[in-house]
Structure 1
Amino acid sequence: MAKNKDNNEVVGISEILETFGKFQKLQYFYCCLSVLFATMIMINYVFVAGDINYRCQVPECDGSNPVYSATWWPNATLDRCYKPILNHTVSSGSCTNNSFTSHVEKCSSWVYESNDTIIAELNLACQPWKASLIGTVHNLGMMLTMPMGGWLSDRFGRKPITVISAVGSFLGILKIFTYTYYPYIALELMEAVISGGVYMSAMVLMVEITGTKARILPGVLFAYSVYLGEAVYACIAMVVPYWKHLIMIICLPNVLFLSFIYIIRESPRWQIINGRIDEAKETLLIIAKTNKINVDTDILRKMNEATLKEAFNIRSYARKEGFADIIKSREMIKRIFATFLARFGTSFIYYGLVMNSVGLPGDKYWNFFMSAAASFPGELIAMYLMNRIGRKKPLIYGYLTCGALCFLCAVVPESKTWMKLALFLLGKLVVSACYTGMVTYTMELFPTSVRGSLCGVCTLAFGFGSMLAPLTPMLAIIFAPLPFIFFGCSATMAGLLIILTPETKGQPLLDTLEQVHASSSKNRTECTTNDNSAYIDDDNYKY
């Protein structure tokens, strides 16, 4: 038995993890700090590979020290990938606005306004696809590492993967020593593969050290760490625009995460599941001591694997269900199809809006900061509506509203700066709410027997959407409103697909495919509340 030192309340051994205290607060802080830095690294390319002003170089007029704002540049508006042809009657070094003919030609060298981004240092002028590909490659690495990170954390533990991913983010510093494009993009991929693992391992660790009554808290704090990372990165970039200094600021501190070896604790649930009973007992004793819970150490140390699993309600299923069973189920195929495309649309819109925020009228740093800040209320809105109304309707109306806002943003002219920015920020707020809601809804739609596998499939969809998002600014070159038209279509499609899925609020948390088939034959809108032991309590959410 265990009892709290403050009120001497005697509780069972299983209540060690149910008691929220200093231990959880410290572990949350460590995990969220690593996620914050991982987020800054994840979106580093937004400013590091951001566009800058440049023009073609005219050797006859520029001289040995060319500057971007040349007084002799012709008054006519020119494509920055083409240079004006000099009138041959003009002597070298005496160029004026009238020294050029009306003809232009492609140029092979450029003069940059600044060297704040890699566009200048890697000479990427007039190659927008190369700049966009950096973000795509980074998100490709994230797409690969998220499922891999989940598997590795299941295999080797939550703590080692969190530590390796957090510390490994330091290797991004190597990018400042590259002077050509392809080595840089290779390092970008490596950085993403190493650092991305912290998202899965840290989140799982936070959930597994949390009691049932506070189980929704880790998800909220995790999301806020991501949003805060975006906002902090924007603030740093405002003060330190030079890309090498920016990379140093977000990568160098990751070395300090080596301290996690000593201050982060492994998940006791993972230790119990993997037969590390002695280690699990030591971890539980540390939790009890930190949270000031008195524990009868003799009883705890005498418990074997079976009694520990029983105490913490850890069980396995007699029959393992897999993909062979899933593809035979029409109901599961329908749910997978809807959630796969909805998760793809969510990430495509969310990170697409992040990328395009720097292209809005006004200061790009301030726009990016406001875009990040707009995500914070979205989290609270999602929690309130999903607990109050349900899962399905808020998501349907949320996606459709987001689609409408994106379509409106596409048709509002650039001259209406504040109207366009307001529509953009509202769209970001709504998609952030859908982002959070869809994660919870996905977990409830799938049965326990295949939930991990199918959530992994949805993670791939999410990664694919975020991989395509950095390419959307190139669409604006073809037609300025095109990115927002694509976002609007994706959101509308996601909202319509959610109609195919059932409401899960107040419904049983299903364990097997057989239960899914049985529930699909009933009225999907009916909420049963009699069997409290098998139902999801929205205030005390259980996975």
Structure 2
Amino acid sequence: MKFEDILEEINGFGPFQILIIILLCIPRIVLPCHFLLNNFIAAFPPHHCDISTLGDGGLLKNLTHEQRLTVSIPVREDGVPKSCEMFAEPQFQLLANGSISADLPTVQCQSGWVYDNSTFTSTLATEWDLVCDRKSLTKTTGTIFFVGVMMGGIAFGFLSDKYGRRNSLLASYIMSAVFGFSSAFANSYVLFAVLRFLTGVGLTGISIISIALSIEWVDTGHRSFIGVIGSLAWSAGNMLLAGFAFLVNDWRTLMMTVTAPLGVAVLTWWWIPESARWLLVNNKVERAHFYLDKCAKINKRQKLSSKFKQETLSEILEKQDTNYTYLHLIKTPKMRRLTLLTGTVWYGVSSAYYGISLNISGFGLNMHLTHFIYAAIEVPAKLMIYCFLNIIGRRKCQAGTLLLTGICIAINIFLPQGLWHMRAVVAILGKGLSEASFTAVFLYTTELYPTVVRQNSLGYTTFMSRLGASLAPLILLLEDVWTPLPQVIICSLAIISGLTVLLLPETLNVRLPETIDDIEKPRASEVSSHSVETAGVFLESMSTTDI
């Protein structure tokens, strides 16, 4: 007998499972607010060299502000003052009509910069003058954050499999809240970068534990529902971020605003159950029985009988070594293959998603509106992927969304900049598809790996994902080398990862594997009777391929 049989007796999809989704919604809303926060706190407002000191000697005393700018700051071809240069000496001849500033000697800004505060009263760029030759430091904060997310994936993947989902989730709540709030009070760039790194470490626990905990409590038929509908919290948080950033235009206040919901999440943690699957795998039968009885009570089903507890429950999973580590992901042939392929897919999925999400300029729209549209398109994309996941399967959905994302990026490479309406439509479509692929990959990966190393596997794949995310801001900087280069790289990664998916097995209607032996030596008896055909695809794929 398998765990799914127990869930069937106590109702594998009832009020108990819905309650879990609701309790995990608040912290999952916080995730996009931090993951995409750099779009706003690291924004570059219009700026030019500070020329206030030039008027002290009386040279510019009688000139208006516009005239001072004319004689002091060179302009670009579009008539906008240059951001990082000023004339070596005031050029009074430019006040005459028809005069041009080409070839006049310029120097770097000598007394700092003046910023346009009409959109943002304060950003990282204005706080620490991260502009001109230091502008890459704002992108670097995003990379540092995602490096923290990478490290958190490894740490919380191990901790969750070792000490349980529930305790590790509380640790991630507290860590994210403490360091998230502390970031708002950083008095130097270095301190801010360190705190953002630690915030990223904590937030990863919320990301990987919440999805696994949700799916481990539901039956086979509702896994896609839990995975997709639960992820709508990310979309809600993403849209809220655009609203928060519009209403709160100071970066420190914005940091505190998007972190505040974690205080509520800590309070709701008391009602979150431990994963009964994890408890059984770790031979904690009595504790598992407690939560299963609780699930039965809330779902209005009969509690498990004493005979069930003594004879059946303890035999659902064979007693075995519980000291599973990341090494178990590569110890056996089919696990090695699975680890290599899923790591490649996650890297491509993340690179595509963040490559698009962090590029919210260039389409002729306000950045807040662009971000909101990018977030809103995720909702229909997730509802669409939910339908297709159960119709054509996980593998085809995953591959299709990635390949179509790559095609959308490729189209925009060749569309002229003047056709910004069309470019915006294609970019929004690509954003929706990239989010659909991200939604599918969480569910798909959770179903591919066995319970004993499920969190370790999510820690590893999250590491690969955040590696892609951490490099995305740096890839975008390559537009200074060749404008289309970032899009060419992101497009290639999306297509390669989409093709890689085709080498993975299908998991539609296949029971979750519990042990590594279920991967290495799958048995037909473990497949639900109504999914023999789909399960055959799974077994054939896992048994005919080796490395």
TM-score (norm 2): 0.80
Q: Which residue of 1 aligns with 2:169?
A: 162
Q: Tell me, in whole angstroms, the C-alpha distance in 2 between the residues paired with 1:240 and 1:336.
A: 42
Which of 57, 62, 73 aligns to 2:69? It is 73
Alpha carbons of structure 1 residues 386 and 537: separation in structure 2 relative to 1, 3 Å: farther
3-state SS in 2 of match to 1:293: coil
The 10-residue stretch of structure 1 (475-484 or 348-357) with the greater mean CA deviation from structure 2 = 475-484
Partner deviation per Cα, 1:379-425 (whole Å, 9 max, x = no partner) = 23333334323444444443332222102212223332211110101
Equivalent position of 2:160 in the other structure? 153
- Residues 531, 43 of structure 1: CA spacing in aligned structure 2 closer, same or farther, 3 A cutoff? same
Which residue matches 2:181?
A: 173
Is contact 2:381-2:436 (8 Å) kept?
yes
The answer to whether the 8 A contact 1:31-1:202 is kept is: yes
Whether 1:139 aligns to 2:146 is: yes
| Partner SS, residue 132 of structure 1 | helix
- Write out per-residue CA displacement over residues 309-354 of structure 1, whole angstroms, 9 at most, x where no aligned residue: 34xx33456999995895774x766654443222211101101111
Of 254, 260, 268, which aligns to 1:260? 268
Q: Are 1:43 and 2:36 matched, yes or no?
A: yes
Counterpart-to-counterpart distance in 1, 2:438 and 2:6: 36
- 1:511-530 matches, within 5 Å, as none
CA contact (8 A) 1:508 1:534 kept: no
2:60 corresponds to: none
Q: Distance in 2 between matches of 1:240 and 1:32?
A: 23
What is aligned with 1:211?
A: 219
Whole-angstrom distance in 1 between the partners of 2:398 and 2:505: 12
Q: In the alignment, residue 295 of structure 2 is paired with which amino acid? A: I
**16, 26, 49: which is aligned to 1:56?**
49
Q: Which amino acid aligns with 2:30?
A: F
TM-score by length of 1: 0.81
**AA partner of residue 86 (structure 2):** K
1:418 to 412, 421, 435: 421
Distance change (3 Å), C-alpha of 1:494 and 1:271: closer
Distance (whole Å) between structure 2 residues aligned to residue 445 and residue 175 of structure 1: 37
| AA in 2 matched with 1:120 | T
Shift of 1:189: 0.7
In the alignment, the residues of structure 2 paired with residue 200 and residue 488 of structure 1 have an alpha-carbon distance, to the nearest angstrom, of 26
1:398 to 388, 398, 401: 401
Alpha-carbon distance in 2 for matches of 1:339, 1:19: 27
Aligned residues: 507
Question: Structure 2: how far apart are the matches of 1:422 and 1:15?
Answer: 45
Q: Which residue is equivalent to 1:196?
A: 204
Name the one with the larger helix percent: 2
Aligned partner letter, 1:177: F
Question: Kindly tell me: are residues 375 and 307 of structure 1, through their superposed partners in 2, closer, same or farther at Cα, counting changes over 3 Å?
Answer: same
Matching residue within 19, 30, 34 for 1:26: 19
Please report how far the alpha carbon of residue 53 of structure 1 lies from its aligned counterpart in structure 2 after TM superposition. Answer: 1.3
Change (3 A) 1:133 1:387: same
Q: Give the SS at the match of 2:69.
A: coil
Q: Which moved more, 1:96-105 or 1:167-176?
A: 96-105
Question: Which residue of structure 1 aligns with residue 127 of structure 2?
Answer: 121
Please give the alpha-carbon distance, in whole angstroms, between the structure 2 residues aligned to 1:498 and 1:13.
Answer: 32
1:34-77, Cα deviation, whole Å (9 max, x unpaired): 1111331232222111221111122444669xxxx855322632
Asked if structure 2 preserves the Cα contact closer than 8 Å seen for 1:203 and 1:219, the reply is yes
* Structure 2 CA distance for aligned equivalents of residues 455 and 70 of structure 1: 57
1:131 is aligned with what amino acid? T
For the 8 Å contact 1:335–1:500, the answer to whether it is kept is no
| Aligned counterpart, 1:307 | 312
Q: Would you say 1:231 and 2:233 are equivalent positions?
A: no
Which residue in 1 is equivalent to 2:301? 293
Shift of 1:131: 0.3
Does the CA-based 8 Å contact 1:402-1:430 persist in structure 2?
yes
Pairing 1:222–2:227 present: no
Q: Percent identity?
A: 25
SS in 2 for 1:52: coil
- 1:334–1:256 distance in 2 versus 1, CA, 3 Å: closer
Instruction: For 1:490 and 1:32, locate their aligned partners in 2 and report how far apart those are by CA, in whole Å.
Output: 31
Q: Is 1:357–2:360 an aligned residue pair? A: yes
2:62 is matched with which residue?
Answer: none
Aligned mate of 1:482, from 461, 481, 485: 485
Letter in 2 for 1:87: P
- Matched to 1:196, the amino acid is T
Structure 1 window deviating more from structure 2 (113-122 vs 128-137): it is 113-122
Conservation of the 8 A alpha-carbon contact between 1:375 and 1:429: yes
Report the Cα distance in structure 1 between the residues aligned to 2:432 and 2:83, rounded to whole angstroms. 35
Q: Distance in 2 between matches of 1:16 and 1:167?
A: 36
Could you list the per-position Cα deviations for residues 251-279 of structure 1 after superposition, in whole angstroms to 9, with x for gaps in the alignment?
Answer: 23322333135332323333344444444
* CA distance in 1 between partners of 2:39 and 2:506 (Å): 38
Q: Which residue of 1 aligns with 2:540?
A: none
- Tell me the distance in 2 between the aligned counterparts of 1:513 and 1:262: 32
Q: State whether structure 2 residue 279 is matched by structure 1 residue 271.
A: yes
Q: What is the match of residue 465 of structure 2?
A: 462
Q: Quote the Cα distance in structure 1 between the aligned partners of 2:419 and 2:466.
A: 33
* Alignment CA distance shift 1:398-1:256 (3 Å): closer
CA RMSD, 1 decimal: 3.8
Gaps of 5+ in 1: 1-11, 520-528, 539-543
> Is the CA contact 1:118–1:243 (under 8 Å) kept in the aligned structure 2?
yes
For residue 292 of structure 2, what is the aligned residue in structure 1?
284
Q: In structure 2, how many angstroms separate the alpha carbons of the residues matched to 1:503 and 1:272?
A: 26
Aligned-residue offset at 1:177: 1.9
Q: Which residue of 2 aligns with 1:9?
A: none
CA change 1:446–1:534 in 2 (3 A) is farther
* Aligned residue number for residue 388 of structure 2: 385
Equivalent AA in structure 2 for residue 307 of structure 1: T
1:157-179 Cα offsets, whole Å, 9 max, x none, are 22222223223322212222223
- The answer as to whether partners of 1:73 and 1:96 remain within 8 angstroms in 2 is no
Indicate the larger mover: 355-364 or 135-144.
355-364
Structure 1 contact 334–500 (Cα < 8 Å) conserved: no
CA distance in 2, matches of 1:384, 1:248: 37
Shift of residue 201, structure 1, vs aligned partner: 1.9
Query: Measured at CA, do residues 17 and 367 of structure 1 come closer, stay the same or move farther in structure 2, by a change above 3 Å?
Result: farther
Q: Secondary structure at the match of 1:105?
A: strand
Answer whether contact 1:86 1:99 (CA < 8 A) is retained: no
Q: Is the 8 A contact 2:378 2:435 kept in 1?
A: yes
